[in-house]
Amino acid sequence: VLSFLSQHGLKETAAECERLGATVQAFVVDCSKREEIYSAAEKVKKEIGDVSILVNNAGVITAADLLSTQDHQIERMFEVNILAHIWTTRAFLPTMMNNNRGHIVTVASAAGHFVTSFMVAY
């Protein structure tokens, strides 16, 4: 299962996964919006099943220094780089705990020039 902010990025990533032999379900989700994450997580649970691997791979950066970075850019970085990881973890961790199995990988990288949300396996 893939989640991306943009349809274009989602299609590219899904196509690459399919070329590698994976079956793909894809959702467009703005991971800076908690309710979109929770809604997508519920769809995944209902349509696909329990998640045993969650990869939090969301990231945005602003290349400007702190004083040149606008307030809304700082807020966006916090929403995507921190809060989105918390919301996705909260959405999937309880089921992992109930099933007594699962893994969560959170990626942090300065290479995060684009936004992606989460990938899950079942």
Q: Which of the residues are catalytic? A: 122
Are 91 and 37 in contact, with CB atoms under 8 Å apart? yes
Residue 48's contacts (CB-CB under 8 Å, 6 or more residues apart) are 1, 25, 122
Euclidean distance between CA atoms 59 and 74, whole angstroms? 12
Euclidean distance between CA atoms 22 and 2, whole angstroms? 11
Euclidean distance between CA atoms 75 and 102, whole angstroms? 31
Residue listed under structure tokens 């793909």: 24
Q: What angle do CA 61, 3, 18 make, to 5 degrees?
A: 115
